[in-house]
């Protein structure tokens, strides 16, 4: 069987985490089975159907790397891929229901006559779900065509899935109870239905339902916040899918390889921003230093820091220190700026040591007289200078870090020395002794 899945968003102006997860799981399932992933836009609500609202969804999917095989910009054999352009197909299938006497007029609208029997679906995630249509009060015949001639969601959704030859429908649990209605329609059409898999909702950390106003809800916000796409795809996959191993960090290829519907969780996934940041960090560490520097560059530029010759090495020195790209400017600003600020607490700590001034001045002299400058040689100087002045290396290392960076923590001290270079190190040390101590 050639697997065919689809993501069928209604354009809303943003791609929500829940929608992105639906898209991702359909994508992973299709790719895992060498099938096709279709993008169909359910744009029957004319007011919301603006170009911008559509673009927000396409952009979010492209950013996440969820490339579709058919649909917007791709074409395909089962188009058009916008519901607003498929009325002729809905009319055609409505005729089938008319011929079979499965619809009747009611106040200008048309109702679909349910078969009065229990309908059981075998959901690939939720298991068996039965709706008993013998109960007329709970399940009155449903309107499929409104009096203005437009068709309702259930009808168009089913017609599209059968016309587009979908084999699997993976969607949110909010559609679970719609599915028996869909099965009734498939049966009336005389067409084999796809297999359904309904995923539990995604919740906020506190267990409340996630809305677009909640932290992390909108995919378009992630790049600005310093996340990279493979990390977000990884994180979203874990919101509802269990890899059944201790590992949690996966590339898209690894997700494709491991994904299966059996491992979709039955309970709702909870959004955890700490976990999301941690996964981002793991993916940042996978980047080679040049790619990391490139990815961080827009954030450094936005912070109005000069991209100097030191930038590539400066970026590399903080790659292990940040969780989000947005943290990069603060982590490396002292390596790019000439005029650095000194953190108040760091300064207090240095001032507590009486020997700091003498040691730093001696280090400036020793560094200045180094013939061959290298990070290792400079680091060695710290040890020999401390020793020559009857101190331990540690007593000089901390003041040196503060004098060079203005902070108590940061990249490896050897990296800092190497990146700043001889002249700048000597200047900063002398400046610190003169102006701050
Ligand atoms: N447009 C529907 C939604 O966004 C699609 C439902 C489905 O996937 O079948 O909820």
The reported pLDDT for the residue numbered 215 is: 86
* Residue 45 pLDDT level (bands cut at 50, 70, 90): confident
Ligand 1 centroid to residue 10 C-alpha, Å: 7
Kindly give the pairing relationship between strand 195-199 and strand 168-172.
parallel
CA gap 40, 38 in Å, rounded: 6
Closest CA to 420 of 261, 264, 314, 279: 314
Average pLDDT over residues 111-140: 96
Cis peptide before 80 (omega within 30 of 0): yes
Domains 86-199 and 221-285 share a fold: no
Ligand 1 centroid to residue 320 C-alpha, Å: 41
Average of per-residue pLDDT values in the chain: 96
Give pLDDT tens digits for 201-239.
899 999 998 888 888 899 999 999 999 999 999 999 999
* Residue 199 pLDDT level (bands cut at 50, 70, 90): very high
For a mutational test of ligand 1's pocket, the pick from 7, 8, 81, i.e. the residue with the most ligand atoms closer than 8 A to its C-beta, is 8
- Closest ligand 1 atom to 178 CA: 9
Ligand 1 centroid to residue 199 C-alpha, Å: 12
CA gap 178, 186 in Å, rounded: 13
297: pLDDT strictly greater than 90: yes
Ligand 1 centroid to residue 24 C-alpha, Å: 14
50: pLDDT strictly greater than 90: no
The reported pLDDT for the residue numbered 34 is: 98
CA gap 310, 20 in Å, rounded: 38
Backbone angles phi, psi at 291, to 5 degrees: -65, -35
Average pLDDT over residues 270-286: 96
Ligand 1 centroid to residue 171 C-alpha, Å: 7
- Closest ligand 1 atom to 19 CA: 4
Give pLDDT tens digits for 311-344.
999 999 999 999 999 999 999 999 999 899 999 9
The reported pLDDT for the residue numbered 210 is: 87
Q: Does domain 86-199 have CATH number 3.40.50.620?
A: yes
The reported pLDDT for the residue numbered 211 is: 84
Ligand 1 centroid to residue 82 C-alpha, Å: 13
Task: Identify the residues whose C-beta falls under 6 Å from ligand 1.
Answer: 8-10, 42, 157, 169, 171, 175
The reported pLDDT for the residue numbered 216 is: 87
Handedness of CA 188, 194, 195, 199 (dihedral sign): negative
Does the global pTM surpass 0.75? yes
Domain range summary for the chain, segments of one domain joined by +: 86-199, 221-285, 287-336, 344-436
For a mutational test of ligand 1's pocket, the pick from 49, 83, 86, 171, i.e. the residue with the most ligand atoms closer than 8 A to its C-beta, is 171
The structural architecture, per CATH, of the domain 221-285 is Orthogonal Bundle (1.10)
For a mutational test of ligand 1's pocket, the pick from 5, 10, 24, 37, i.e. the residue with the most ligand atoms closer than 8 A to its C-beta, is 10
Average pLDDT over residues 410-423: 96
Residues 6+ apart with CB under 8 A from 54: 11, 41, 43, 72
Residue nearest to atom 10 of ligand 1 (CA): 9
CA gap 326, 385 in Å, rounded: 38
Ligand 1 centroid to residue 66 C-alpha, Å: 17
Ligand 1 centroid to residue 194 C-alpha, Å: 15
CA gap 88, 298 in Å, rounded: 48
Residue nearest to atom 4 of ligand 1 (CA): 9
402: pLDDT strictly greater than 90: yes
Q: Which CATH class is domain 344-436?
A: mainly alpha
Give pLDDT tens digits for 334-386.
999 989 999 999 999 999 999 999 999 999 999 999 999 999 999 999 999 99
* Residue 46 pLDDT level (bands cut at 50, 70, 90): confident
* Residue 53 pLDDT level (bands cut at 50, 70, 90): confident
Residue nearest to atom 3 of ligand 1 (CA): 9
Ligand 1 centroid to residue 11 C-alpha, Å: 11
- Which stretch of DSSP H or E encloses residue 198? strand 195-199
**Higher-confidence residue: 181 or 49?**
181
Handedness of CA 158, 160, 165, 167 (dihedral sign): negative
């Amino acid at each position: 069987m050639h697997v065919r899945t689809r993501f069928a968003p209604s354009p809303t102006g943003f791609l929500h985490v829940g929608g992105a997860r639906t898209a991702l799981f359909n994508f992973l399932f299709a790719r895992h089975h060498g099938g096709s992933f279709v993008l169909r836009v359910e744009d029957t609500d004319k007011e919301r159907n603006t170009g911008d609202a559509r673009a927000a969804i396409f952009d979010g999917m492209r950013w996440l790397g969820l490339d579709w095989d058919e649909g917007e910009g791709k074409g395909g054999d089962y188009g058009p891929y916008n519901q607003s352009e498929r009325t002729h197909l809905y009319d055609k299938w409505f005729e089938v229901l008319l011929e079979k006497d499965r619809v009747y007029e009611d106040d200008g609208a048309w109702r679909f006559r349910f078969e009065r029997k229990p309908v059981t679906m075998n959901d690939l995630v939720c298991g068996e779900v039965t709706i008993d249509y013998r109960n007329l009060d709970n399940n009155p015949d449903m309107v499929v065509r409104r009096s203005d001639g437009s068709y309702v969601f259930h009808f168009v959704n089913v017609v599209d899935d059968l016309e587009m030859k979908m084999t699997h429908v993976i969607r949110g649990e909010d559609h679970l109870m719609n599915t028996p209605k869909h099965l009734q329609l498939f049966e009336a059409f005389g067409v084999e239905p796809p297999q359904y898999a309904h995923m539990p909702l995604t919740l906020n950390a506190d267990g409340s339902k996630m809305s677009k106003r909640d932290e992390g809800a909108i995919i378009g916000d992630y790049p600005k916040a310093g996340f990279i796409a493979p990390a977000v795809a990884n994180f979203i996959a874990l919101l509802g899918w269990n890899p059944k191993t201790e590992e949690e960090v996966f590339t898209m290829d690894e997700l494709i390889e491991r994904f299966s519907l059996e491992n979709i969780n039955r309970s709702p996934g909870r959004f955890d921003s700490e976990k999301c940041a941690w996964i981002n960090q793991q993916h940042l560490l996978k980047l080679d230093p040049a790619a990391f520097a490139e990815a961080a560059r827009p954030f450094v530029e936005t912070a109005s820091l000069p991209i100097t010759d030191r930038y590539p090495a400066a970026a590399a020195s903080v790659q292990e220190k940040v969780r989000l790209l947005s943290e990069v400017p603060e982590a490396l600003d002292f390596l790019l700026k000439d005029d650095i600020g000194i953190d108040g607490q760091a300064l207090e700590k240095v001032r507590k040591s009486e020997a700091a001034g003498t040691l730093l001045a001696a280090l400036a002299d020793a560094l200045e007289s180094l013939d061959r400058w290298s990070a290792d040689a400079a680091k060695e100087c710290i040890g020999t200078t401390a020793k020559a002045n009857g101190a331990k290396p540690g007593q000089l290392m901390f003041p040196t870090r503060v004098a060079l960076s203005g902070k108590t923590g940061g990249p490896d001290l050897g990296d800092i020395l190497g990146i700043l270079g001889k002249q700048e190190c000597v200047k900063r040390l002398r400046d610190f002794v003169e102006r701050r101590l």
